[in-house]
Amino acid sequence: MIPLSEIIKAKKKINGIVNKTPFAFAPLLTERVGAKVYLKKENLQITGAYKIRGAYNKIASLSKEEKQRGVIAASAGNHAQGVAYSAALFKTPATIIMPEATPLLKVVGTKALGAKVILKGSNYDEAYEFATTYAQENSLTFIHPFKDRQIMAGQGTVALEMYDERDDLNMVLVPIGGGGLISGVASAIKQLDPKIKIIGITSKGAPAMYESFKEKKPLSTNGVRTIADGIAVRDASKENLDIILECVDDIIQVDDEEIANAVLFLLERQKIVVEGAGAVGVAALMHDKIKLKPTDNIGVILSGGNIDVGMLSVIIEKGQIKAHRKMKLLITLIDKPGALRGLTDIFEELSANIIQVDYDRISTTLSYGDANVTIALETKGKEHQESIREELKKRGYRFHEEF
């Protein structure tokens, strides 16, 4: 594991540069899961994620010549911004290689910090392969996002802040992609109090570290596909796995739907914006992945908040459908004056708000004299939707649901 002395040294180094983010009690989540939950809000960090901690600690350790030549990193976004921000503080040129599918928010954010951005590869690992070659060809120092002990020490400062505020935790939930964050956090926690359980959370769409942990050897996967782009890592590294096997009690998985539910819950109920990777710990709690006791005090690291606006809108839309707050009906009417008004009167009587209407009277699939109306409604839950269906059936309408 990373020596506690190295993590403490990193904490002193980043002091005054990195925000000490809130570690706050979450009453609504506590009520929902039946144990006390505290959220470490790294989504409120300077660059929107914890990655700046390790990046600054690493770049600060470079020689004057290395800083002058410049640094390079491969990243889906958060490490990129951490490296770019830190390099700018040292007036060090920074080049960032990002996967081609990286959300625009992260690309723009990285460029705004003064870094040169090159989009290459379909995932992190392909970007990484290009970056290592580019680094050699241009004599740049490669800043690895997780397979570097100074990076891990910097990330471990998250745990020191949590422990400083609450030394009564008995469980800490940590997102896992490549394993840099959990390597640092678990190293710190296990040296401060070995009784505290460290649970890593991965996405089912990026299972490399989960499978490696179970098999106790580093494994690679054919590819990754998850909304949690910050932890979409294809291959497990031996360096991080060795520390994880030493310090981490268990690793569990959550799927994209569970992650999306957690993102929406945090946005709507906790009033905080968290990206998919940052929400996996909350997803695990919300979907009963971990056995809890009422006496448990659980620290959950919200690792980042740099979510793409387009992705967030999709999550909100799907979340509303899942929560029975939206429904879309295709209804067949007799095409005559007043037919649509009669239908909308029903929705008014049932207090269902119409948010979209599409009227089709020319489709070749329609019988002569019929029209199809597609109506999207805002509804008030499962019972409300059922009452709408029953009323339409009672009035003799033919319909089916689009979602």
Residue 103's pLDDT is 74
d(CA 186, CA 155): 10
The ranges assigned to domains in the chain are 4-49+149-318, 52-142, 324-401
What architecture is domain 52-142? 3-Layer(aba) Sandwich (3.40)
For 46-62, b/e burial (b = at least 16 CB within 10 A) is: bbbbbbbbbbbbbbbeb
Fold match between domain 4-49+149-318 and domain 324-401:
no
Query: What end-to-end distance do the CA atoms of the chain give, in Å?
Result: 49
Please give the mean pLDDT across all residues of the chain: 94
pLDDT band per the 50, 70, 90 thresholds, residue 318: confident
Residues with catalytic function: 51, 303
pLDDT digits (tens, 9 = 90+) for 100-137: 988 787 788 899 999 999 999 987 778 889 999 999 99
pTM over 0.85: yes
Q: For 348-364, what is each residue's pLDDT tens digit?
A: 999 999 999 999 988 88
Q: What is the pLDDT of residues 364-387, one digit of tens each?
A: 888 889 999 999 999 999 999 999
Average of per-residue pLDDT across 176-188: 97
pLDDT in tens, 43-94: 999 999 999 999 999 999 999 999 999 999 998 789 999 999 999 999 999 9
Burial of 305 (0-12, 13-18, 19+ CB in 10 A): buried
- For residue 167 the two structure tokens come to 């030394």
For residue 175, the cross-strand partners are: 201
Reported CATH class of domain 324-401: alpha beta
Q: Which two tokens stand for residue 66?
A: 């290395």
Amino acid identity for residue 154 in this structure? G
Q: How far apart are CA 141 and CA 72, in angstroms?
A: 6
Name the residue among 115, 69, 77, 78 with its Cα closest to residue 99: 77
Confirm if 279 and 305 have CB atoms less than 8 A apart: no
Domain 4-49+149-318, second-level architecture: 3-Layer(aba) Sandwich (3.40)
Q: Is the pLDDT of residue 181 over 90?
A: yes
Rounded to an integer, the average pLDDT of 288-303 is 97
Other C-beta atoms lying within 10 Å of the C-beta of residue 17: 15
**Residue 143's Cα: distance from chain center in Å?**
22
**What pLDDT, on a 0 to 100 scale, did the predictor assign at position 122?**
84
326-334 vs 398-401, strand pairing mode:
antiparallel
